[in-house]
Amino acid sequence: MTSDPTPSTAAVPSTDDEWRARLTPEQYDVLRRKGTERPFTGEYVHTKDDGTYVCAGCGAELFSSDTKFESGSGWPSFTDPMNTENVELHRDLSHLMIRTEVTCRRCGSHLGHVFDDGPGPGGKRYCINSCALQLDRRSDEG
């Protein structure tokens, strides 16, 4: 590995106990147990503030507010990841559906799923649990 794409982030927990200590119970269920928060309950569902959404598990930069859109799904939705290097996609056959799971490459946490009905040129809709994200609001110094 030549460089860490997320150099300013916290160390990644190595044990389940460390994860439980770092996360809220809801975050633990979503991030480490691939749970799903109830729609329209998350902190960032309707947020329009500028900034960078980082991983709630490790701080890796995941999504820019520039790509966030109102999907009506009840979860924060984005057309693209901020850096494709920072997310991983996996085929998910659970719950009698064929979906593509999105995880954080750095810490392996479950983030949500990506669907092919997005509004942008790429046609993607990254449907991400709000509690898996933390918004670092952007200052004007840019």
Q: How far is the CB of 22 from Fe ion (least distance, A)?
A: 11
Piece of 55-63, 95-103, 114-122, 134-142 that binds Fe ion (CB under 5 A): 55-63
111 or 127: CB nearest Fe ion: 111
- Side by side, the strands of the sheet bearing 99-104 are 68-69, 77-78, 125-128, 110-115, 99-104, 87-92
Count of residues touching Fe ion (by CB under 5 A): 8
Q: How far is CA 15 from the centre of its chain?
A: 21
Residue type, 139: S
Distance CA 88, CA 85 (A): 8
Which of 55, 58, 104, 127 is catalytic? The answer is 127
* 127 counts as catalytic: yes
Which residue in the set 106, 113, 124, 125 belongs to the binding site for Fe ion (CB under 5 A)?
A: 106
Q: What are the φ/ψ torsions at residue 121 (nearest 5 degrees)?
A: -60, -30
Which residue in the set 32, 37, 42, 57 belongs to the binding site for Fe ion (CB under 5 A)?
A: 57
> Do residues 130 and 45 lie in contact, with contact meaning Cβ atoms separated by under 8 Å?
yes
Which residue in the set 87, 104, 111, 114 belongs to the binding site for Fe ion (CB under 5 A)?
A: 104
Q: Under the rule (CB under 5 A), what is the footprint of Fe ion?
A: 55, 57-58, 60, 104, 106-107, 109
